[in-house]
């Protein structure tokens, strides 16, 4: 949302496809892909490996998050 705000406020329509352009939906999809698809498993990995006390960490959650992150990043390649 921050990037979208900065582009709308300061981008002077140079970096964003016109809303009527067929490229606009694809632009929005990739703009929000990282936050919507990549950050949830990254967040789980950080919480489970760094933020939680060792006694509360769950390796199953980490393994699932790594698997999901790997699949999610595959779409970027």
Rounded to two decimals, the pTM is 0.75
DSSP 4-43: HHHHHHHSTTSSS--TTSTTHHHHHHHHHHIIIIIHHHHH
Residue-by-residue pLDDT tens, the chain, 77 positions: 899 999 989 998 889 999 999 999 999 999 999 999 999 999 999 999 999 999 999 999 999 999 999 999 998 88
Question: What pLDDT does 77 receive?
Answer: 82
Question: What pLDDT does 1 receive?
Answer: 85
């Amino acid at each position: 949302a921050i990037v979208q705000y900065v582009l709308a406020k300061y981008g002077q329509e140079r970096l964003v496809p016109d809303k009527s352009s067929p490229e606009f939906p694809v632009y929005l999809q990739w703009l929000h892909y990282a936050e919507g698809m990549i950050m949830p498993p990254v967040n789980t990995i950080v919480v489970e490996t760094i933020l939680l006390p060792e006694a509360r960490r769950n390796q199953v959650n980490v393994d699932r998050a790594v698997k999901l992150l790997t699949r999610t990043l595959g779409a970027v390649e």
